[in-house]
Amino acid sequence: MPFNQINSYCYIYESAVNIGYVTDGETGLLIDTGIDSSSVKKVVKELEQRKLPLTHLFITHAHADHYGGAAYLQERFQLHTIAPRFEEAILRNPSLEPLYLFGGNDPLPELRNKFLEGPPMRVDEIAEEGMLAIGTLKVQAIASPGHSYHQLSLAAYDTLYAADAYFGKEQLHKHRIPYITDAVKTIQSLEKLMQVKTEGAVPGHGMYEKEFRKTLQENIDYHLNIMNEVEELVSKHPDGVTHEETVAAVCRKFEVNGRNLPQWLLFKTAVTAYVTGLIHNKKITHDVSDFKWTFYPVVD
């Protein structure tokens, strides 16, 4: 898992979940931490060997695989920690993630794991979209919701740290149904990132690329394809198809593995994001019928 230098300011620690690092020699900014202390310990070791500073931490969004190592860092370093609004509430109260995935009910024990609930952490500053002064660094925060509610990507010194606004090509096809909360906002965020003028980009999962706009377009096409598949499914049921039937049919279509409750809930959320995208775009309609949330094709 290499720690690679992109340019004179920017680095990436490549792993299952990428960790970014930006420095001017005085300020050292870590972008996300990986899922637990084991990932971030390796980054700290690299920084110490290279005599690079570590003064600030930016968490792009409140998913455990991106902040799980933060509490470990905060216990050992004097770090000024920054996170987006709303996301920071979950970072400070991580049980909110399994709670919302479980529809507001108290989560069953199998949902209380490190993949859905990292250790609680401190947030010193809440960030909004726009230019940010982080120590002596100047970076641009870019609102990129869709995968998470108020996710922020960072553009810093000709490098876009995109977090999970998009996935590398291999990861996109590996997951088959990528986790999102809002399909419309996901696509809008991808289109926004297309306009960012940097020399290259780092996704949360995948390789650093200079030709990243091709991958952004592939992400857009991939999401549109799933939405089209869902619309076609609903069109075959003029008398309506229920939410649970839709989730099951789409998961079967894309041959995903949702055999346990946490996996199923993640796929359920993602499929629902495509369904609600179609509702927002007036491609399908919905109603509650016989106590079941039901979707219908639009009749011309």
Determine the Cα–Cα distance for residues 111 and 129; give it in Å rounded to an integer. Answer: 32
108: number of Cβ within 10 Å = 11
User: What does DSSP say about strands 152-156 and 19-23: parallel, antiparallel, or unpaired?
Assistant: unpaired
Residue 145 neighbours by CB distance under 10 Å: 22
222-251 burial: b if 16+ Cβ within 10 Å, else e: bbeebbeebbebbeebeebbebeebbbbbb
Q: Which residues contact 46 (CB under 8 A, 6 or more apart)?
A: 3, 13, 52
pLDDT > 70 in the chain, percent: 100
d(CA 177, CA 289): 27
Supply the pLDDT for residue 1: 62
pLDDT in tens, 106-140: 999 999 999 999 999 999 999 999 999 999 999 99
> Distance (Å, rounded) from C-alpha 254 to C-alpha 246?
12
Q: Residue 200 carries which side chain, given as an amino acid letter?
A: G
68 and 34 in contact (C-beta within 8 Å)? yes
Beta bridge partners of 202: 161
pLDDT at 155 over 80: yes
